């Protein structure tokens, strides 16, 4: 059952089609990886899901009213707040929870991303990987049903990347968080995801279960896989 | 077309800053943030404001005083300096200081947040950037600008008095009593209203430019620069219009 459904979505920027008649569905509880060359509209796709961008034509149907968390590539933490305050911010600003309840939720989220020790540090005082985990804690603190990850591991070393992937999987398996992961790390995607979508020039070239994707006969998929393998060596 | 849209955005932010001003008092965090903005606007600019207004008072006294001396009218030096300060120069120099010190830093701060996706992150969390970022900053500028202008007036008058007594042989006490005799409540009121308008405009321009920052390396620099230029122009134009309205 699809929880988010793109139907013939088209989006142009300054006359250039970034999403071109894009149709695909995101299944409830799955991890969907979106891969593709740079500038093909992966981030734009995610921004349509949360309403930061509106399609020129086509529709995006969202089943029910899921809480959607968003992990930005940069982490997008507010520089003048500590890690703790950043995570508490959405609760303080958008709920009527008491201070004590907020504290409990924030500490729980910090524990989930293994960042309890850095709670009182400012974003500039922690590493890139820690910033991403803090961003992730902020994305899930309001009990997210869906989390969108925009390149959660880019710029991180392989060990930290693996750690983040494990975290994404844990949240998915333990809390049933539907996860959409945009990534350049095709090997990571093959290990992490249930399904993979290849986006090229704003079109879904292929969307398939991981095993089927790896064995796909689609020439564009093969070309992409070979190019990525070349890059890794 | 783009210009019209920008005016629309600024208008919306301006309206929000008026309608939403009670929200800065809604919680302990927002009150603390507002206090911090007041501090940044008022207190942290004091050194610059002090030097600027001191020298403006000194320059005014020197220019006017030399003319007055030709006619043996130095006793009116205080009045001449005070009139130009209270009506024009104090709100004007306060506006320029706030635009270049505070407005530019707000535009850069919010512009950087835009480029780092922090603005989008706020929106996704259901937090309005206008309510959360714009309103406390604009309100702080509107509240502080009249106070800063008043301070400019005081310091400028003292600066003029120093020049008067050291260079032009005007007794300081006589200078001050001349200055006080001319200052009317209306002048003070109009001057402070002018400063309030300037503060408000500087805030709206800075926030609008910050939020409108284009992605890319030069985006933040551009919007910072634009916020200062647009504020300067508006301060001059609005200053003239208010003077025109109030002194017919
Ligand atoms: N707000 C915007 N205004 C104008 N153009 C935009 C905007 N957002 C994205 N674009 C353009 O849309 C295209 C796709 O951008 P997008 O960020 O989705 O790429 P991407 O697939 O995420 O690439 P990358 O892997 O490099 O992050 C790019 O050419 C980009 O310049
Ligand atoms: Mg991207």
**Rounded CA separation A206/A198 (Å):** 5
Count of domains in chain A? 2
Asked if B171 and B204 count as a contact pair (C-beta separation under 8 A), the reply is: no
What ipTM score was computed for the predicted complex, to two decimals? 0.88
pLDDT at B231 over 80: yes
Please give the Cα distance from B148 to B144 (Å, whole number).
Answer: 6
| Candidate from B27, B113, B121 with C-beta closest to A70 | B121
Q: Same domain, yes or no, for A156 and A58? A: yes
Cβ contacts of A69 on chain B, cutoff 8 Å: 124
* In-domain check, residue B17: no
CB of A44 closer than 6 angstroms to any ligand 1 atom: yes
pLDDT at B99 over 70: yes
Distance of alpha carbon B73 from the chain centroid: 33
Do the beta carbons of residue A35 and residue A224 sit within 8 Å? yes
Ligand nearest to the CA of B215: 1
Residue holding tokens 């609005």? B238
Contact B191, B90 (CB under 8 A): yes
Q: Look at the block and give the residue holding tokens 């902020």.
A: A138
Cα A185 to averaged position of ligand 2 atoms, centre (Å): 13
Question: Phi and psi for A12 in degrees, rounded to 5?
Answer: -115, 145
- For β-strands A178-182 and A31-35, DSSP reports them as parallel
CA of A167 to the centre of ligand 1 (A): 27
User: Considering only CB atoms, which chain A residues are within 8 Å of B40?
Assistant: none
Residue % of chain A over a pLDDT of 90: 60
Give the tens place of pLDDT for each residue, B131-187: 999 999 999 999 999 999 999 999 999 999 999 999 888 899 999 999 898 888 888
The answer as to whether A73 is a domain residue is no
Share the mean pLDDT of chain A.
90
> Is beta strand A68-71 parallel, antiparallel or unpaired with respect to A146-150?
parallel
Q: Is the dihedral of CA A175, A181, A183, A186 positive or negative?
A: positive
Q: Is the CB of A13 under 6 A from ligand 1?
A: yes
Contacts of B7 (CB under 8 A, 6+ apart): none
Considering CB atoms only, which of B116, B123, B126 is closest to A52? B123
Question: Are A42 and A1 within one domain?
Answer: yes
Beta carbon of A35 within 6 Å of any ligand 1 atom: no
Least Cα distance to B38 among B107, B138, B179 occurs for: B138
Encode pLDDT of B45-82 as tens digits. 999 999 999 999 999 999 999 898 889 888 899 999 99
Q: Does B177 map to a domain?
A: yes
CA atoms of A10 and A57, how far apart (whole Å): 5
- B23 found inside a domain: no
Among residues A89, A121, A144, the one where a domain terminates is: A144
Q: Encode A23-37: b = buried (16+ Cβ within 10 Å), e = exposed.
A: ebbbebbbbbbbbbe
* Largest pairwise CA distance in chain B: 70
* Average pLDDT for A173-190: 91
Domain termination site, one of A96, A125, A144: A144
State pLDDT tens for residues A9-35: 999 998 899 999 999 999 999 999 999
Confidence of residue B195 (pLDDT cuts 50, 70, 90): very high
- How far is C-alpha B122 from the geometric centre of its chain's CA atoms? 29
A151 and A230 co-located in one domain: yes
Distance of CA A188 to the CA centre of its chain: 14
Flag whether B12 is in a domain: no
- Indicate if the pLDDT at residue A230 is higher than 80: no
Instruction: Report how far residue B160's alpha carbon sits from residue B59's, in angstroms, rounded to the nearest whole number.
Output: 7
pLDDT of residue A226: 85
Do residues B247 and B53 touch, judged by C-beta distance below 8 A?
no
For ligand 1, pick from A39, A45, A56, A205 the residue to mutate: most ligand atoms within 8 Å of CB. A39
Assign residue A1 the CATH number of its domain: 3.40.50.300
Q: Are A158 and A233 part of one and the same domain?
A: yes
Tell me how far apart the alpha carbons of residues B204 and B140 are, in angstroms, rounded to a whole number: 11
Contacts of A68 in chain B (CB under 8 A): 124
- Kindly list the residues from chain A whose CB atom is less than 8 angstroms away from the CB atom of residue B27: 92
3-state class of B149 per DSSP? Answer: helix
The DSSP element (H or E) to which A149 belongs, if any, is strand A146-150
A77 touching B (Cβ < 8 Å): yes
B117 has a pLDDT exceeding 80: yes
Q: Read off the pLDDT of residues B30-49 as tens digits, 9 standing for 90 and up.
A: 899 999 999 999 888 999 99
Judge contact between B219 and B211, C-beta under 8 A: no
With a 6 Å cutoff on the Cβ, whether A183 touches ligand 1 is no
**pLDDT for the residue B72:** 86
Say whether residue B123 is in contact with chain A using an 8 A CB cutoff: yes
Any residues with CB less than 8 A from the CB of A230 and at least 6 apart, and which?
Answer: none
Does B2 map to a domain?
no
Nearest-CA residue for atom 6 of ligand 1: A13
Q: Does residue A191 have its Cβ closer than 6 Å to ligand 1?
A: no
Please list, in sequence order, all residues whose beta carbon lies within 8 angstroms of the beta carbon of residue A199, skipping any fewer than 6 positions away: A22, A34, A35, A36, A40, A41, A42, A45, A205
Instruction: Judge contact between A167 and A136, C-beta under 8 A.
Output: yes
In this structure, the answer to whether residues A155 and A135 fall within a common structural domain is no
**How would residue A233 be classed by pLDDT, with cut points 50, 70 and 90?**
low
* pTM over 0.90, yes/no: no
- Per-residue DSSP letter, B214: P
DSSP state of A185: -
pLDDT value at residue A231 = 65
Q: Chain B within 8 Å of A13 (Cβ-Cβ)?
A: no
Measure Cα distances from B95 to A48, A224, B238 in Å: 41, 57, 11
Name the residue of A41, A181, A204 whose CB sits within 8 Å of the most ligand 1 atoms, as the mutation to test its pocket.
A41
Q: Do B113 and A78 touch (CB under 8 A)?
A: yes
Q: Are A63 and A124 in contact (CB under 8 A)?
A: no
- Spatial CA neighbour of A31 closest among A133, A112, A146, A159: A146
Residue identified by tokens 């910050």 is B210
Count structural domains, chain B.
1
**Distance from chain centroid for Cα A58:** 22
Whether the Cβ atoms of residue B205 and residue B231 lie closer than 8 Å to each other: yes
Ligand 1 atom closest to the Cα of residue A73 is 27
**Least Cα separation, residue A16 to chain B (angstroms):** 17
- Domain range for residue B209? 28-241
Look at residue B1 and tell me whether its pLDDT is greater than 70.
no
**Does residue A140 sit in the same domain as residue A152?**
no
Confidence band of A142 (pLDDT split at 50, 70, 90)? confident
Residue where one domain finishes, among candidates A144, A174, A197:
A144
Is A72 within a domain? no
Residues of A in contact with B124 (CB under 8 A): 50, 52, 68-70
CB within 8 Å of A33: residues ≥ 6 apart: A181, A182, A183, A189, A192, A193, A195, A196, A197
Q: Which residues contact A201 (CB under 8 A, 6 or more apart)?
A: A17, A20, A40, A41
Binding site membership of A205 for ligand 1 (Cβ less than 6 Å): no
Query: Which domain covers residue A98, as residue numbers?
Result: 78-144
Sequence-distant (6+) residues with CB within 8 A of B196 are B142, B145, B146
A70 touches B: beta carbon within 8 Å: yes
Q: Token pair 């020049």 is at which residue? A: B163
Q: Does A85 share its domain with A57?
A: no
pLDDT surpasses 70 at A141: yes
* Residues in A touching B137 (Cβ below 8 Å): none
Quick one: what percent of chain A has pLDDT higher than 70? 98
| Higher pLDDT among residues B247 and B118, named by residue | B118
């Amino acid at each position: 059952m699809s929880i988010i459904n793109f139907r013939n979505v088209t989006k142009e920027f300054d006359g250039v089609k970034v999403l071109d008649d894009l149709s695909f569905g995101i299944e409830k509880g799955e991890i969907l990886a979106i891969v593709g060359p740079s500038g093909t509209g992966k981030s734009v796709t995610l921004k349509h899901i949360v309403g930061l961008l509106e399609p020129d034509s086509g529709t995006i149907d969202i089943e029910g009213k899921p809480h959607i968390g968003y992990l930005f590539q940069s982490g997008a933490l507010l520089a003048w707040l500590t890690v703790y305050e950043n995570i508490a911010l959405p609760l303080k600003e958008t709920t009527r929870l008491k201070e004590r309840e907020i504290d409990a939720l924030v500490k729980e989220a910090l524990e989930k991303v293994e960042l309890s020790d850095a709670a009182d540090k400012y974003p500039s005082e922690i590493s890139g990987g820690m910033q991403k985990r803090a961003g992730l804690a902020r994305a899930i603190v309001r009990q997210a049903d869906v989390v969108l990850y925009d390149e959660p591991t880019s710029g991180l070393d392989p060990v930290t990347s693996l750690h983040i992937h494990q975290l994404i999987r844990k949240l998915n398996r333990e809390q049933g968080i539907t996860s959409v992961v945009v990534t350049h790390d095709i090997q990571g995607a093959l290990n992490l995801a249930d399904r993979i979508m290849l986006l090229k020039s704003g079109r879904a070239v292929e969307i398939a279960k991981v095993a089927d994707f790896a064995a796909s006969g689609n020439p564009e998929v093969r070309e992409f896989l070979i190019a990525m393998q070349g890059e890794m060596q | 077309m783009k210009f019209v849209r920008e005016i629309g955005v600024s208008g919306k932010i301006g309206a929000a800053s008026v309608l939403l001003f009670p929200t800065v008092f809604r919680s302990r965090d927002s009150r603390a943030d507002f206090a911090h903005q007041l501090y940044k606007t008022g207190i942290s600019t004091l050194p610059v404001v002090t030097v600027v207004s001191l020298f403006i008072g000194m320059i005014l006294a020197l220019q006017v005083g030399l003319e007055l001396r030709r006619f043996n009218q130095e006793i009116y030096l205080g009045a001449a300096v005070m009139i130009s300060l209270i009506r024009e120069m104090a709100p004007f120099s306060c506006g320029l200081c706030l635009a270049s010190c505070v407005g530019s830093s707000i535009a850069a701060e919010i512009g950087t947040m835009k480029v780092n996706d922090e603005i989008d992150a706020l929106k996704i969390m259901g937090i309005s950037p206008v309510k959360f970022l714009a309103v406390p900053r604009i309100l702080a500028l509107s509240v502080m600008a009249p106070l800063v202008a008043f301070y400019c007036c005081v310091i400028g008058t003292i600066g003029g008095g120093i020049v008067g007594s050291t260079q032009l042989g005007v007794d300081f006490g006589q200078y001050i009593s001349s200055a006080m005799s001319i200052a009317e409540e209306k002048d003070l009121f109009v001057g402070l209203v002018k400063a309030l308008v300037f503060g408000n405009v500087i805030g709206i321009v800075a926030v609008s430019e910050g939020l409108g920052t284009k992605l890319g390396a030069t985006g933040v620099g551009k919007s910072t620069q634009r916020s200062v230029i647009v504020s300067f122009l508006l301060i001059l134009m609005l200053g003239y219009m208010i003077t025109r309205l109030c002194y017919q």
